[in-house]
Each structure stands twice: as structure tokens, then as C-alpha cells.
Chain A
């Protein structure tokens, strides 16, 4: 296959950045998108140019490191697929493909296709946990959990934290990410004691970090490589409303 790649090149956070075109020839269709960038980078290094910087690690769709906009769609055209699992057979000979970083106020660009997603960690630190000290849990079978609830919780827990939902949202909202965590824990009996504070803390942190609000666009669900449903956002909204009627947000405490 012959392809034209237009890649966003930005040397530093301060640099303005620009799209640069690269012609790729003889691309095998069982090459992954990241392997295509590997091939390009080998060529650039040999020519004395700087290779394209992009985050990646497991290359099997689970670590959540990789991801950028591929011709305007977070993680590219194939549904339920991370960038690393996108293979060139999804494209046609002669295609032009544009690769740009995930763009959002809360995700500043570090270099080329790499952005700083540490804001997602901060949302989890605000309350995305159950405060069970090591060694304190009862026998795993002491609390039966219906298969249905456990499965639903797992649906939400499947989030890989890649940030595609934020990049796809016209408002730059992290609602799907936050809702997935709140639902994963809130569906389980172990998550009940902290359920209200969790919703208050995580939503407050999300707003503080510069993520936008949700206006039910649904782009997030459409691009999510793990198929996390926007139904979970409704769940977050319910939890948040109930919690704000009954409690005010408190900081995380030791005991």
C-alpha cells in the first residue's frame, strides 16, 4: 500500500506546531498504526531527522498509553479499537491519514503526539477508590454480589484511562471517564460507604482541572475503545444529585 501521513509535529509545549507530510510506500496491511510510525521513525533517524514522539507501551490495547486523533477520530476509524490495535487493512491504497494529538484544555501537548494526561490520575486521587486498608477485608465470599451487578460493574471497570473520551468531546469533558469509575465502585456493596463523597469529590476535582461539562453529545461513547456506555453518566448524575442534597464535599482523611 501507498499512504500519505500528515503528522502533527511540535517540539515542545511552547512551540506552535505544524502538520508535516510523509509519503509511505510498500506498507503491508498487517502493519499496525504504531508499527507504521516505527517504520517512519527508522527512516527519519537514518536521514538525521527527529523521529515522531508518541506514547505507547503494551501494544495490545489494554495499558491505555497510546492514542491520538486519526483523521479526526480518537483512535481512528475502527470501532472498539485502540490506536495500537488499528491495522493498515482498515485503510485503502492511496489514503491520506492525519495524525494529531488528543486535544483538550486539560491535556497540554508535551511533544508531537504526546499529551499530559495526569489530570485523569488527579480525578482518581480525589476519590476513585475504596479506603480498605491492606489486610482488612473479610473473606471474599462473605459478601455475595449478584452476577448481574458484578458484570455491570466490570463493564464500567473496563476503562483503560486513555483519554479518548475527553479528546472526542466538544466540551473536553471527562464525564465518561469519571462516570465509569463511580459506577464500577458504586455498583458494588463494598463501594457504598464512600459513594456520596466519591461523587462529590471526583466531580469537584474534574471541574477544578478544567474539564468541560457534559451536554449529552455521545461522542465519548462512540470512540471509547472499551465500549463504556454513556448510561453510566446518567448514573453519575444521579449519585451526584443525591449526594449534593445530603452532604457537602469533604477532603480525603486518613482514618
Chain B
């Protein structure tokens, strides 16, 4: 297979500008003749649907939530990066580019990352224009905060609700297009199949989650902006509904899945409390700006935190990484926490937690400053754990948070399947093996506002206006039949175990063997266990109710069925990648002090997997990564 990344020629600073000129345009009067489907209405999908509607295309947008405003981008707390250099602290487009490539442990495509950094400033301008109430300084100018993995302050924020405010901006723009009739909105609709005709993506099959009606939607091109697959681990910081179904269905239809093993573990989440736990809650990483992370020096120290004198505490991030200290990148901090717990120095129930306290900062800055910065996070922590962070150190532990892998796309954000575009977390493109904080919001909006409106026009110039098929095309009928058969099958098994039981079982295997630390034996165990769980799922699951109304168990069952396939590919990729890089940590490959050890000679490539059918091994395709602008080096945050 030809994996052509279509990166334009020329110096990296000129590539996007040159490409924008080289791409063809769609005549304004022809735009309304093209129909575009957008699945997912988070930052990437919402921004894309709104922008394409404004341009005059006919857009149909779909989301599983009851309103486009509820997509999981809304939960991002910390902020959004941009290379504005308003702080006069040495930032630049090149530095943001450099930090992102380095943060991703040299496993991302340079040209894409450079473009991301380049359009980052326009995103801030656009969001301000839409009325996003970013934090301001007393001058009235925009405020910034610092974030993990960077030594400049380039993060724009709206209290601890940046994702919410950016999403409400995109949602407002989208709502205007809905009012004007340029976008037709389909909430409570779930995409269950991609329809490919003669190699071109031409539509989708969806289920109306309220009535159960299964229907086809035709378009000239399809955009998937359906987020990541962290919920393959069952417990993650993702919303309960986040799923892999849209991209997995596309993968089964031929779209390559790139780097599935790059899954990010966020270092500062509230630890698991018990069996009934349904999801994990993230505490903004911004806590690390003023907080200090520590564990007792002695293993098995049972004293209460305040009984442990300073000399018996190990502020391990400050000790191991003196120059970045508590602001070491996410993957590095998460693994350090795990190592401390593995050494028996973890705290709280089950010994799976480390302390994070802000007592030093309270003394230094005063309680008022801390309350203004972190008051809402303290309240959230107390609400969930019943412990007061003003008195007790908080307990934190890493949790699955974001997936860098996703469908393979070229520079134009089109997958290898002609006409299938993939944006945001659903694609693999910009974060390499590890994403830096405040970069997910940047990428989602970059893809939606400033990349896809250009590249999709170039694609559509190759499609004859009015040439799209009708819903009566046999391919659509066939896809509808498949979806109906699958729904019927799930409802008819009538076993004894619930969907959640299977999901939890899968999650335990994924966390145990394909989680923060991975090794050959463990991955092979996972590859044995996952197909067994999948087989039992299709024999023993019980899905109550019918397919003809709102049936949340049926929705979950379809998603878990796909996770049971996707999880296997994730483990397969992790086994193949016999090196450590970024968030992918193979225990066989580490430096003497436990850092990720890359193998650039053998693995400096994107692993793009092709689906070969049920029960068959996927086929690996490689896109070599070349670094012409960033010097490949061992990452160091010491």
C-alpha cells in the first residue's frame, strides 16, 4: 500500500503557505452542491461543521449526546497553547513546534506539527472573536499560565473550564449555521457504519438512539471527529459515552489505524476508591505549578501524612528532575508515580497513590491566592473523596486520559480511504508518542477551523458536483442490513453477564498488561486473553430490551464489542513496537534511571495497521519519519 503523507516540498516554514496556494478552490456557487457529513461535535467536529457551513457547503452533523454542546472536549480544564509570545519570555512558532515534537518523543510528523504551531495564534484570535471569556490581566490583555513540558508561559485559559468555553464558542458558531439552515444537526444519533463505494467514502449508517431507526446518509465526503479510545481501559478520565466505534468501523472498511499503542496516562487523577467506581476524575495538571508531589521515604510507612517529618519525605520529581521538577511531562511523571508505588511507597487504600500538597505555596503566596487559583479543584476533590485539601495532602494517581493514536491521515487530514477525513483526537497526526498539556484543544480547533476548510476544498474539486449516489445504492442497503443484523444479534444472545462486566474484564486486562508499563510476556498474555473475552461476550452477554427505542445497554454493547476488537490491535501494536517512546513504555527498553529508551534505527516510523478480516492478523504498513528540523535526541527533563 502506498502511504503517501503528501507533505509539501520546501522549507518547513513555507510548506503550509505554499500548499494553501497550490490547492484548488471550489467556486462559491458550486459549494452548495457539495454535501459534507461531520460525525462528532467536539472542538474538531464542531469547529469544522460551523466553518464549512459558513463557506456554503451543505453540512450534516451528528453526535451521540443530546446536544452538540456536550461533547467531551468540554471537560478539558487547563488551557490551550499558542505561540503568541505575549509574555516576552522567548516563545515562537518554532519553539512551540520544537517542544511538541520533543514532547512527543520524536514520533510525530514534523510538517503537521509545524502547521499546528503556525495556526495556533489564529485560534486564540478566533475564539476571542466568538466571545470566549479567556482570563485577563488587569491591563485587559490576555493572561497566560505555564504547563508541563514547556519552559515558557503560552497557555491561555478560562478558569478551570477552558475546554467548556472553547466548545461553547464552537457550539455557538455551529448553532448559528443550524439557524441559517447551512448545517443540519442530528443529536442522539450514533454512527454505526461507514459506507465506501468504489474506494470512496460516500456516507454513513446511523441509529437514531431515541426511536431506534437505522438510516443512511449520503455525502460527497465524510469527516470523522469522534475522539479517542481511552475507554478501552474501562476506567479512564473520558466521558462514559466516549467510544471507538466510528473509527473502528472505518478501520474495518479499510482505513489504516496508526500507532494504537500510544495511550497517555495523566499523572494527576483521583485514585480508584472501590469496585463501584465508574470513571476516573482528573485534577488539572495546573496543580503541579504550585504543588509538590511526594511519597514517604520508607516503604510501608503507615503514618498519617502530617506525622511524616520533612526528612522522611521524598519529593521524588524534584529529586530526579531538578530542572523541570514537578512540571516534568505527563508520561515521565506518571511512570515515576508508578515506580514509587511499585517500591511499596504508595499511599492511600491499596497503596496506589502519591501525595500532592500545596502547603508550601499556601505559606509563600497566602491562602487567598491559592483559593483563587485552585479553589474549585479543592472543592471537587473534597466532594469526591470527602477529604479537605486545605488540611490533608491530596492523593493522586495516574489514569488513562488521551490517545495519541488514531486513524492514519496524510497532510490534508485525509485517511488512506479516499474521501474519509479524520480530525482531532480521532486521528494520529500531531502528538507523536506523547501529547503535551494544553495541546489537545489546540489541535482540535486547528484541524476544524483552519486546516480542513482548505484541504477539503482541494479534495472536492476532484469530485463532480451532483455525482454522489442515492441512499438506494446497494452499498447503503447492504450496510443497513449489516447494522440491523448486528443489533439483532446483540439482543438475541440472552446470556447471563452484563455488558459492563465484560467491559470491566477487558479494562483490567488492558490496564494490567497494556497500561503504563508493558513487556513482551505481558503483551502476549493480553493477546491471549482479549480474544477469549470477546468470544465469551458474543455467547454470554445479556442485552435487555429492544432495538426500537432508547436502549442504553444496546448502545454500550455495540461499543464494547468494538473495544474488544480494538484492544487486541492496541496490544498487537505495543508488542510490535519493541522500543520505549513517550507514553509507550516497554520495560525491556529503559535507561539506567528508568526513562524511555527509543530505538530510532528500527522504529522511527508510524505504524499503520490494515484490517484483514476477523480472526486474521492485521498487516503493518510503515510511514518513515524524517527529522530535518529537530535534532533527534534522548529527551531529558533533568
Chain A interfacial positions (CB closer than 8 Å to B): 11-12, 28-32, 34-35, 38-39, 42, 45-46, 48-51, 53, 55-65, 78, 80-81, 85, 87, 89, 110-111, 114, 116-118, 120-121, 124-126, 128-141, 143-147, 150-151, 153-154, 157-158, 160-161, 184-185, 188, 190-191, 252-254
Evaluate contact between B67 and A121: CB separation under 8 angstroms: yes
Known contacts A30-B386, A60-B281; is A42 also within 8 Å of B158 by CB? Answer: no
Known contacts A31-B276, A39-B276; is A252 also within 8 Å of B131 by CB? Answer: no
The interface residues of chain A lying within 8 Å CB-to-CB of B590 are none
Number of A-B contacts (CB under 8 A): 224
- The yes or no answer to B140 lying at the interface (CB within 8 A) is yes
Evaluate contact between A46 and B498: CB separation under 8 angstroms: yes
* Further 15 A-B residue pairs, CB within 8 A, beyond A51-B544, A137-B129, A140-B156: A32-B278, A35-B276, A45-B544, A57-B70, A85-B380, A125-B175, A128-B175, A129-B131, A132-B126, A134-B173, A151-B133, A153-B131, A157-B133, A184-B131, A252-B180
The interface residues of chain A lying within 8 Å CB-to-CB of B241 are 57
- CB contact between A134 and one of B54, B74, B501 (< 8 Å): that residue: B54
Chain B interfacial positions (CB closer than 8 Å to A): 47, 50-51, 54, 65-70, 72, 74-75, 84, 86, 122, 124-131, 133-142, 156, 158-159, 161, 164-165, 168, 171-173, 175-176, 178-180, 185, 187, 210, 239-241, 273-274, 276-279, 281-282, 379-380, 383-386, 449-450, 453, 496, 498, 500-501, 542, 544-545, 549-550, 552-553
CB distance from A137 to the nearest CB of B (A): 3
Evaluate contact between A129 and B172: CB separation under 8 angstroms: yes
Known contacts A85-B384, A134-B51; is A63 also within 8 Å of B75 by CB? Answer: yes
Give me 17 A-to-B residue pairs in the complex whose CB atoms sit less than 8 angstroms apart, sorted by A's number: A29-B386, A45-B553, A46-B542, A53-B552, A58-B240, A62-B74, A85-B384, A124-B175, A132-B173, A134-B173, A137-B126, A140-B142, A141-B84, A146-B138, A154-B135, A160-B164, A190-B128
Quick one: closest A residue to B242, CB to CB?
Answer: A57
Evaluate contact between A87 and B384: CB separation under 8 angstroms: yes
The interface residues of chain A lying within 8 Å CB-to-CB of B544 are 45, 48-51
- CB contact between A63 and one of B65, B129, B185 (< 8 Å): that residue: B65
Evaluate contact between A188 and B552: CB separation under 8 angstroms: no
Evaluate contact between B161 and A62: CB separation under 8 angstroms: yes
- CB contact between B179 and one of A126, A184, A188, A190 (< 8 Å): that residue: A126
Known contacts A56-B240, A138-B125, A150-B134; is A61 also within 8 Å of B380 by CB? Answer: yes
Alpha-carbon distance A46/B496, docked complex (angstroms): 7
Evaluate contact between A254 and B180: CB separation under 8 angstroms: yes
Alpha-carbon distance A191/B550, docked complex (angstroms): 39
Evaluate contact between A128 and B172: CB separation under 8 angstroms: yes
Evaluate contact between B133 and A57: CB separation under 8 angstroms: no
Known contacts A57-B70, A121-B68, A121-B175; is A147 also within 8 Å of B131 by CB? Answer: no
Evaluate contact between B125 and A140: CB separation under 8 angstroms: yes
CB distance from A59 to the nearest CB of B (A): 5
Evaluate contact between B129 and A138: CB separation under 8 angstroms: yes
Quick one: closest B residue to A252, CB to CB?
Answer: B179
Evaluate contact between B276 and A144: CB separation under 8 angstroms: no
- CB contact between B129 and one of A118, A121, A132 (< 8 Å): that residue: A132
Evaluate contact between A63 and B70: CB separation under 8 angstroms: yes
The interface residues of chain A lying within 8 Å CB-to-CB of B128 are 137, 140, 143, 190
Alpha-carbon distance A110/B68, docked complex (angstroms): 18
Evaluate contact between B66 and A117: CB separation under 8 angstroms: yes
CB distance from B531 to the nearest CB of A (A): 25
Evaluate contact between A147 and B552: CB separation under 8 angstroms: no
Quick one: closest A residue to B122, CB to CB?
Answer: A135
Evaluate contact between B553 and A145: CB separation under 8 angstroms: no
Of B67, B128, B165, B379, which is in contact with the most chain A CB atoms at under 10 Å from its CB?
B128
Known contacts A146-B136, A161-B69; is A38 also within 8 Å of B500 by CB? Answer: yes
Alpha-carbon distance A190/B169, docked complex (angstroms): 13
Evaluate contact between B210 and A132: CB separation under 8 angstroms: no
The interface residues of chain A lying within 8 Å CB-to-CB of B379 are 80
CB distance from A22 to the nearest CB of B (A): 16
* Top 4 A-B pairs, shortest CB-CB distance: A144-B140, A137-B129, A129-B172, A132-B129
Of B65, B125, B133, B178, which is in contact with the most chain A CB atoms at under 10 Å from its CB?
B133
Of B122, B125, B135, B274, which is in contact with the most chain A CB atoms at under 10 Å from its CB?
B125
Evaluate contact between B137 and A140: CB separation under 8 angstroms: no
Evaluate contact between B125 and A161: CB separation under 8 angstroms: no
Evaluate contact between B386 and A89: CB separation under 8 angstroms: yes
Of B50, B168, B498, B545, which is in contact with the most chain A CB atoms at under 10 Å from its CB?
B168
CB distance from B203 to the nearest CB of A (A): 24
Alpha-carbon distance A12/B69, docked complex (angstroms): 25
Alpha-carbon distance A11/B545, docked complex (angstroms): 11
Alpha-carbon distance A153/B137, docked complex (angstroms): 15
Evaluate contact between A53 and B550: CB separation under 8 angstroms: yes
The interface residues of chain A lying within 8 Å CB-to-CB of B542 are 45-46
The interface residues of chain A lying within 8 Å CB-to-CB of B84 are 140-141
Evaluate contact between B136 and A125: CB separation under 8 angstroms: no
Evaluate contact between A150 and B278: CB separation under 8 angstroms: no
